[in-house]
Amino acid sequence: MNIFQLSRRQKLFAFILLVLGVFAVLYPSRPAAYTGYIAALVLIFFIGMQTNKIFAAIAGLLTISIGLVLRNFVKLEVSEKMIEATDKYNTFLSKYFWLLIIGGALIGFISGAIGEIIADDKTEPLTTKRLTMMAILVALSVIINTMRIGSISFGGFPIIYAGYFLGPVNGFLVGAVADVLGFIVRPSSFGFNPLFTLTSALTGLIPVIITKLLGEKYPQLNFWKVLVGIYTGQFITSVFLAPLFQMILFGQGFWLLVGKAAIKQVLSGPAYAFLTITINDSVSKVIKVDSKKLIKTEK
């Protein structure tokens, strides 16, 4: 399929959001100068949801790169209250120039993939059975995260398993709801931010997509292919996106956060894969799933 074979409405929508994204990067905004970059990522996400992953990745790359390049040629006039924040913003953009561009392209690719999956998803909508299973997995994730000790937690596992058991779209929804409820039950000192809800939602989406691309589908799951899917998803969300958002929002050291997250995921990845395979082997023997109504399978 031609990645640029989109309707006029889709192209116009993407162009408008791309331009708005460029201006968001270009001009610092209150309450923090970094808000502009965050706003651009949100706009790129909406481009992806309306187009496809390759087109959105290109749009994300162009949005951030054009905005950053124009900052070198456009003299911005800011109020005295914003001078200090703007100077810090400029230093931040110069230091992480290529990383920010990659982040924009990655958000575009991921959101485009989500849009494609939602468009192609033929599973029955949220039935009582599906909602019940989703609620159980959301509750498990929230409970595990609430009981965690420090940064040690396996709260991501129910979200990952939701993607394999209920399908990628439902895994995405379980991750999003679990993050919101988790914050209500155990608020973070940094406050609530939808960007971290996005990373939680992607935790339930990406692993199963990667595993499907490797030729596996529920309930026949291979440990090594599941492990590759989980590692891919966790490294995108926990090792790259979460540290990137923490750096942007709170000024924390990116590479230090990446190192800590990578060590944690290297250790937890095999455990998640083992639990997924083990529980799947037991559940698939007890619960007879109607593949046409509950789990989307390939024909």
Mean pLDDT of 141-168: 78
- State which amino acid sits at residue 60: G
Are 238 and 261 a contacting pair, CB within 8 Å?
yes
Mean pLDDT of 57-77: 83
- The whole-model pTM stands at 0.69
Q: Which of 17, 16, 34 is nearest to 25 (CA)?
A: 34
Q: Which of 128, 277, 111 is nearest to 195 (CA)?
A: 111
Instruction: Take residue 163 and report the two structure tokens written for it.
Output: 């993607």
Higher pLDDT, 10 or 285: 10
Whether the pLDDT of residue 212 is over 80: the answer is yes
Burial of 214 (0-12, 13-18, 19+ CB in 10 A): middle
Are 180 and 196 a contacting pair, CB within 8 Å?
no
| CA 126/CA 87 separation, integer angstroms | 48
* 62 confidence band (pLDDT: 50, 70, 90): very high
- State which amino acid sits at residue 15: F
Whether the pLDDT of residue 183 is over 50: the answer is yes
Instruction: Take residue 34 and report the two structure tokens written for it.
Output: 């970094």
Domain 123-286 has what CATH class?
A: mainly alpha
Instruction: Return the bridge partners of 217, or none.
Output: 220
Whether the pLDDT of residue 294 is over 50: the answer is no
The structural domains of the chain, with segments of one domain joined by +, span: 8-119, 123-286
Are 199 and 220 a contacting pair, CB within 8 Å?
no
Average pLDDT score over the chain: 79
* Chain centroid, CA 89 distance in Å: 24
Q: Which pLDDT value is given to residue 28?
A: 59
- Peptide bond just before 243 cis, omega within 30 deg: no
Mean pLDDT of 255-280: 88
| CA 225/CA 230 separation, integer angstroms | 9
Whether the pLDDT of residue 227 is over 90: the answer is yes
Are 113 and 53 a contacting pair, CB within 8 Å?
yes
Higher pLDDT, 95 or 137: 137
* Chain centroid, CA 93 distance in Å: 22
Whether the pLDDT of residue 231 is over 90: the answer is yes
| CA 133/CA 152 separation, integer angstroms | 25
